[in-house]
Amino acid sequence: MRWIDRQRNIVDFSLSSLLRRWKKNLALLCVYTFVVFIVASVVFFAEALKREAALVLEGAPDVVVQRLVAGRHDLISSAHMEKLSRITGVSDVKGRLWAYYFEPSVGANYTMVVSEESSARPGAVAIGAGVSRTLGAGEGDIISFRAHDGTYVGLEVARVFSASSELVAADLVEISAADFRSLFGVPESIYTDLTLRVRNPKETIVVADKIRRLLPDTRPILRAEMLRTYEALFDWRGGLVLAVFAGAALAFIIFAWDKATSLTLEERRELGILKAVGWETSEVILLKSWEGITISLTAFLLGLILAYVHVFFTSGTLFEPVLKGWAVLYPRFQPVPFIDPYQVATLFFLTVVPYTLATIIPSWGAATIDPDTIMRQ
Amino acid sequence: MRMRKSSLFIAFTTGSVVCLALLFAHGAAERRDQAPVINEKRSIVERLGLTDLCLFTDARYTRNPAMADRSTPFQDNPMSLDYFPSGSVLAPPPHLRSYALD
């Protein structure tokens, strides 16, 4: 109890000391909270999308086989399908028909896809919520697409994918194979690329190797590689997240540098007076530790709360311009909160500890000097 | 009677920690509630054979980064540079940086 009383007295004193310079400390708290908010927002957003990508892409094909001609992705024929189906361990080789379509009236890019069990009958399409939003089209409306020969093909909207599926389907136009081929002039037995299933997942790499040797003009892409694409995109030790971290780290270094070099004359005199009235060096360091902890812990907690609200209640509004780029069609999605305690702990150690240390070190230097010398400065 | 400053600080910190705990509890509840929505997205991916998330729609190599090849951002013409904003946000997929498949 005595120990707690002693700590509380020191906290009382440190808060009074902070309040004496309340304008400076309030500004510091606001900037500090903002830095924690930005870093935590990026970490929450990235982790949520990474985990969701891993769950959602579990349904992706085991292997996609692309044909490359002159360094570019090219259409592939059904002759390749026959060769692939002869590889041991391969099952269910399918031709995939998909394409990009630019809609000049709204300036948006759509992804046209065909599925075997297509819900879209010839003459009808199923569209993503983003397509529906940009075109202002709903179920029963007719949408015109410009075909490869310059004619316009009108297709009825049979279904709009739910708004909650925008993360995968915002720009999709699901179309029948017959309409796809007539729209893009793709002949029968030609596909955009091929997909296949591998019976034993452990053999996927062996199968990919066989594909490369059997069909040298093709490139197999494994599901594991698709997943790694998103892991790399949202990995907080690299790419986009690291760029934000680097900015935040720089801000912290400036904080720490400022703290370490700018113990004001007033602050030094205060420490001298405390030493002169009988405070021990350890008590002065404790006082300064509490000042650092008060500021950094408050900034950490406020920053974390604001980041959570920003990412999971307002869908990361501040990141919208970054993700939007030049796109007219921007997917609106609400990230599912996947929070990794390891990341929260790392954020704590990256924000609270350095600042507290940066507060203590110069004070320790000042507290060990003779009080008389400090007060005469 | 005036409250001690340390009591106010302890009350504020406790309140913030409780608020954060409630938000994390909200996260857990949301994950449970969103399970059917994630299943719906997975079934769309499975049915249509999709390979990528729809995050960027301005450039084809950022719409489907897993399907892009090494030169895609620069292949519009010789000496062409990657000019889409999303291209500067999205790092090349790791499998394009590996030469194991060549």
pLDDT tens-digit series, residues A314-358: 988 887 777 777 777 878 888 899 888 888 898 888 888 878 877
ipTM of the predicted assembly exceeds 0.95 = no
Residue type, A102: F
Residues of A in contact with B69 (CB under 8 A): 66, 68, 71-73, 219
pLDDT 10s digits, A276-302:
888 888 888 888 888 888 988 999 999
> What is the Cα–Cα distance from A254 to A297, expressed in whole angstroms?
18
pLDDT-derived band at A262 (thresholds 50, 70, 90) equals low
* Cα nearest neighbour of B42 on chain A: A56
HSE of A181, CA atoms in CB hemisphere, 13 A: 13
- Residue A106, both tokens: 């709204």
- Residue A113, both tokens: 């896809």
pLDDT-derived band at A6 (thresholds 50, 70, 90) equals confident
Query: Over chain A, what is the mean pLDDT?
Result: 85
For residue B47, pLDDT over 70 is answered with yes
As a whole number, mean pLDDT of residues A230-243 equals 70
pLDDT-derived band at A241 (thresholds 50, 70, 90) equals low
* Cα nearest neighbour of B8 on chain A: A12
* Cα nearest neighbour of A209 on chain B: B101
Q: Taking the CB of residue A338, how many other CB atoms lie within 10 A of it?
A: 17
* Inter-chain CB proximity A128 and B54 less than 8 Å: yes
> Which of B23, B41, B46 has the CB atom closest to A167's CB atom?
B41
Residues facing A232 on adjacent strands: none
* Cα nearest neighbour of B100 on chain A: A209
* Inter-chain CB proximity A15 and B9 less than 8 Å: yes
pLDDT-derived band at A21 (thresholds 50, 70, 90) equals confident
> Which of B63, B85, B91 has the CB atom closest to A238's CB atom?
B91
CA A51 to chain centre: 10
> Which of A49, A52, A327 has the CB atom closest to B38's CB atom?
A52
A332 and chain B: CB distance < 8 Å anywhere?
A: no
What pLDDT is recorded for position B25? 93
> What is the Cα–Cα distance from A7 to A282, expressed in whole angstroms?
12
* Cα nearest neighbour of B75 on chain A: A72
What pLDDT is recorded for position A175? 92
As a whole number, mean pLDDT of residues B16-22 equals 94
> What is the Cα–Cα distance from A255 to A251, expressed in whole angstroms?
6
* Inter-chain CB proximity A117 and B47 less than 8 Å: yes
Backbone angles phi, psi at A97, to 5 degrees: -115, 115
Residues of B in contact with A64 (CB under 8 A): 51, 67
What pLDDT is recorded for position A131? 93
What pLDDT is recorded for position A113? 94
CA distances (Å), origin A67, targets A310, B62, B63: 43, 19, 19
A26 and chain B: CB distance < 8 Å anywhere?
A: no
Q: Which residues of A289-320 are buried (b: 16+ CB within 10 A; e: fewer)?
A: bbbbbbbbbbbbbbbbbbbbebbbeeebeebe
As a whole number, mean pLDDT of residues A190-206 equals 91
Size of interface A-B (CB pairs under 8 A): 217
As a whole number, mean pLDDT of residues B2-22 equals 92
Count helices and strands in chain A by DSSP H and E runs: 14, 13
Q: Where are the domains of chain A?
A: 2-57+233-376, 61-222
For residue B70, pLDDT over 80 is answered with no
> What is the Cα–Cα distance from A49 to A167, expressed in whole angstroms?
9
Q: Are A271 and A366 in contact (CB under 8 A)?
A: yes
* Inter-chain CB proximity A298 and B42 less than 8 Å: no
The SS3 assignment for A128 reads coil
What pLDDT is recorded for position A181? 93
A307 and chain B: CB distance < 8 Å anywhere?
A: no
> What is the Cα–Cα distance from A271 to A360, expressed in whole angstroms?
12
3-state helix, strand, coil in chain B (%, to 5): 60, 0, 40
Q: What percent of chain A lies above the pLDDT cut of 90?
A: 32
Residue type, A320: E
Interface of A with B in 114-143 (CB under 8 A): 115, 117, 128, 130
A3 and chain B: CB distance < 8 Å anywhere?
A: no
* Inter-chain CB proximity B51 and A59 less than 8 Å: no
pTM higher than the cut 0.95: no
pLDDT 10s digits, B21-42:
999 999 999 999 999 999 999 9
What pLDDT is recorded for position A310? 93
Query: Please, what sign has the CA dihedral across residues A281, A283, A286, A292?
Result: negative
For residue B45, pLDDT over 80 is answered with yes
As a whole number, mean pLDDT of residues A258-271 equals 72
> What is the Cα–Cα distance from A70 to A163, expressed in whole angstroms?
39
Q: Which residue has the tokens 């995939």?
A: A96
* Inter-chain CB proximity B91 and A225 less than 8 Å: no
* Inter-chain CB proximity B93 and A232 less than 8 Å: yes
The SS3 assignment for A155 reads strand
- Residue A83, both tokens: 């060769």
pLDDT 10s digits, A102-138:
988 888 899 999 977 655 688 889 999 999 999 998 8
Backbone angles phi, psi at A144, to 5 degrees: -100, 135
- Residue A242, both tokens: 């690291």
CB-count burial class (<10 Å; 0-12, 13-18, 19+) for A344: middle
Q: Taking the CB of residue A129, how many other CB atoms lie within 10 A of it?
A: 21
* Cα nearest neighbour of A228 on chain B: B94
What pLDDT is recorded for position A42? 85
Q: Which residue has the tokens 């950094």?
A: A296
Backbone angles phi, psi at B4, to 5 degrees: -70, 150
Return the residue in B50, B52, B82 with the most chain A beta carbons within 10 A, the one to mutate for interface testing.
Answer: B50
* Inter-chain CB proximity B49 and A53 less than 8 Å: no
What pLDDT is recorded for position A120? 63
Q: Are strands A172-175 and A108-113 parallel, antiparallel or unpaired?
A: parallel
* Inter-chain CB proximity B58 and A109 less than 8 Å: yes
> What is the Cα–Cα distance from A51 to A48, expressed in whole angstroms?
5
> What is the Cα–Cα distance from B81 to A91, expressed in whole angstroms?
40
Residues of B in contact with A217 (CB under 8 A): none
For residue A238, pLDDT over 60 is answered with no
Q: Which of A137, A132, A118, A110 is nearest to A175 (CA)?
A: A118
Residues of A in contact with B59 (CB under 8 A): 325
